[in-house]
């Protein structure tokens, strides 16, 4: 069990669909992250939110749109995805984004398949 909850666990969507991934934490953390992980590869950072503001966008295509409605919630809106976007999407949180000594805590991810 983790303290970062991601829903849904699995998602299958067509290339014309719009869907959203959700992430929630109640640890009082002020930094939240989205990572993408392809099969047999390490996780890759996509976005970082700090105090509900977008701090880092790792040149992610605009068909991925993050949103942080409040300090406990993080969404990833998906639109017009391609089959190569199929991956495990991981959410993480940390106490803050200001210090390297603040560990990230990960959820178990949403496994996305784009058909």
Q: Indicate whether 8 belongs to the interface with other proteins (CB under 8 A).
A: no
d(CA 109, CA 17): 20
Task: Give least dist CB 108 to other proteins, A.
Answer: 5
Q: Indicate whether 97 belongs to the interface with other proteins (CB under 8 A).
A: yes
* 3-class DSSP assignment, residue 84: helix
Closest CA to 112 of 93, 84, 92, 73: 84
Residue 83 · residue 110 · CB < 8 Å: no
Task: Give least dist CB 37 to other proteins, A.
Answer: 9
Tell me which DSSP letter residue 16 carries. T
Q: Indicate whether 92 belongs to the interface with other proteins (CB under 8 A).
A: yes
d(CA 80, CA 62): 10
Task: Give least dist CB 80 to other proteins, A.
Answer: 26
Q: Indicate whether 108 belongs to the interface with other proteins (CB under 8 A).
A: yes
- Interface residues with other proteins (CB under 8 A) are 2, 4, 33, 42-45, 48, 55-56, 90, 92, 97-101, 103-109
């Amino acid at each position: 069990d983790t303290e970062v909850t991601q829903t849904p666990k699995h998602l299958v969507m067509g290339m014309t669909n719009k869907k959203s991934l959700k992430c929630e934490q109640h640890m009082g953390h002020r930094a939240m992250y989205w990572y993408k992980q392809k099969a047999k590869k390490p996780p890759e950072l996509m976005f970082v939110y700090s105090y509900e503001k977008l701090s880092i966008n790792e040149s992610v295509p605009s068909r991925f749109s993050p949103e942080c409605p409040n300090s406990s919630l993080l969404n990833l809106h998906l639109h017009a995805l391609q089959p190569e976007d199929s991956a495990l999407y991981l959410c993480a949180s940390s106490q803050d984004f200001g210090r390297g000594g603040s560990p990230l805590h990960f959820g178990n991810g949403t496994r996305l398949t784009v058909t």
